[in-house]
Amino acid sequence: MNAPPKNRAWPREIRLPGAQLSGAATVAMLVVAVVVNTALQPNFWSSYALTSNFATFVPLVAIAVGQTFVVLSGGLDLSLGAQVTLASVVAVQIVDERLDRVPLAVAAALGVGLACGALNGLVVALLRLQPIVATFATSFVFSGLALVVLPTPGGSVPLEVTTAYRDAVLGVPTALLAILVLAVLWWVLRRHRVLRHIYAVGGDADAAYASLVPVVRTRVWAYVLGGVFAAFSALAILANTGSGDPFVGNELTLASVAAVVIGGTALAGGRGGAGGSILGAMVLALVTNIVFFADVPTTYRQLVNGVVIILALALAGIPALQKRRPAA
């Protein structure tokens, strides 16, 4: 019995857009953002401004790298922001201003990310719920838990941590080093079998299954990696702000998706990488900066941010639209 041919006019299932931005487009956006920022913020290149800018970039960069694993596997994690919140409030409650408890707090944050990722992975891969719906639901579980752990903003981090984070090592801002560490982590993981399998499952899950790839386990790994990098994001937030906030991760979720798309990873999965996501996260962070220094009234900031994200996403869709047009 021959299987019916795959039909392009009527897809078997609705898939997320396969479009992706080229690396050149990502870099171009970054250059434009830097130039505009330089024009609006006169001391942009001063070491103080650079250090402070990078310090605010790290949380978004980390969560964007985490989202990259999930998107590459063909999924989407809308609970990453809530995971950041949960990991940060747990860590801030544990550390309780004591320097000797920092290792324990870091371990706890990573444990929270790992556990949340594993839960998401099991729900999506084993119970086969739609990733968008499943992770949207678990996001409420994680935010709810965060409110139980820390009902109102509070708690604080040892001063040594925040000072070190805003300092520089041999003239290089600590926060920039953190971004480099994230990039190196990605570079190392890229050479691991799990990442190869994530690409294969995101590219064509049926083919991967027939090719002996453990599809369920691979999907779970993608969400676990997402959770671990959400924990890194949480730690960076604590180091930057010095205190806990049970709502801190809310806006990071969609920003992480946007950063992944701007960074050239296809939402359909299988194509792209975290290198682009890191640049994409910086573009978004710079846009927030620009909106601030352009004296956009506070009430309009969210609107402007939203429009910029939509424009970036639309840019990624243009090549696909051109391909879809009939030749004749």
Partner 1 sequence: MNTLLEMTGVRKRYGGVQALDGASLTAARGEVHALLGPNGSGKSTLDKTLAGTVVPDSAEIRIDGAAARIRGPRDAHALGVAAVYQQLSIVGDLTVTQNVVLGLEPARRLGFLDHRAARDRAAGALERFTAAFSGRLPLDRPAGSLDPGEQQIVEVAKALAREPRILVLDEATASLHKEQVEVLFDVVRELRAAGVLVVFTSHRLDEVFALCDRATVLRNGRTVGTVELAATDEDELVRLMVGDAPHRVPRPARARAVADPTSSPAAALEVRGLTTDRLRDVGFAVRAGEVLGLGGLQGQGQSELLLALFGAARVTAGEALLDGRPLPLSSPARAARAGVALVPGDRGRQGMFAPRPIQENLSLASMHRRARAKLALSAAAERHAARSMVERLQIKIGSLTDPVSTLSGGNQQKVVIGKWLLDRPRVVLLDDPTKGVDVAAKEEIYAIVRGLADDGAVVILNSSDNRELTELSDRVLVLFEGAVAEELSAEAITESRLVSSALRLAPGESL
Binding site for partner 1 (CB under 8 A): 1-10, 12, 191-194, 196, 199-200, 203-204, 206-214, 270-271, 326-328
Min dist CB 244 to partner 1, Å, is 35
Please identify, using beta-carbon distances, which residue of 121 and 270 lies nearer to partner 1: 270
* Stretch (H or E) spanning 172: strand 172-173
Q: Is 125:219 a contact under the CB 8 Å cutoff?
A: yes
Distance, CA of 219 to CA of 120 (rounded, Å): 10
Min dist CB 208 to partner 1, Å, is 6
Min dist CB 22 to partner 1, Å, is 15
Query: Facing residues of 154 across strands?
Result: 244
Please identify, using beta-carbon distances, which residue of 46 and 130 lies nearer to partner 1: 130
Q: Please report, to the nearest 10 degrees, the dihedral formed by the alpha carbons of residues 229, 233, 239, 244 taken in order.
A: -120
Min dist CB 200 to partner 1, Å, is 5
Amino acid at 224: V
Min dist CB 9 to partner 1, Å, is 4
Please give the full DSSP string across 223-290, using - where no structure is assigned. Answer: HHHHHHHHHHHHHHHHHHHSEE-TTTTTTHHHHHHHHHHHTT--TTSSS--HHHHHHHHHHHHHHHHH
Please identify, using beta-carbon distances, which residue of 191 and 295 lies nearer to partner 1: 191
Q: For residue 242, how many other CB atoms are within 10 A of its CB?
A: 19
Amino acid at 178: A
Min dist CB 127 to partner 1, Å, is 18
Please identify, using beta-carbon distances, which residue of 199 and 229 lies nearer to partner 1: 199
Q: For residue 33, how many other CB atoms are within 10 A of its CB?
A: 20
Angle of CA points 199, 204, 205, to nearest 5°? 90
Query: Facing residues of 267 across strands?
Result: none
- Unique residue bearing structure tokens 């570079």: 187
Please identify, using beta-carbon distances, which residue of 164 and 184 lies nearer to partner 1: 184
Min dist CB 232 to partner 1, Å, is 21
Please identify, using beta-carbon distances, which residue of 13 and 295 lies nearer to partner 1: 13
Distance, CA of 114 to CA of 178 (rounded, Å): 20
Min dist CB 7 to partner 1, Å, is 7
Please identify, using beta-carbon distances, which residue of 3 and 170 lies nearer to partner 1: 3
Half-sphere exposure of 254 (CA within 13 A, CB side): 9
For residue 278, which of 23, 37, 100 has the smallest C-alpha distance?
Answer: 23
Min dist CB 184 to partner 1, Å, is 14
Please identify, using beta-carbon distances, which residue of 226 and 269 lies nearer to partner 1: 269
Residue 40 to residues 29, 45, 136, 294, 305: CA-CA distances in angstroms? 16, 12, 37, 6, 17
Please identify, using beta-carbon distances, which residue of 14 and 170 lies nearer to partner 1: 14
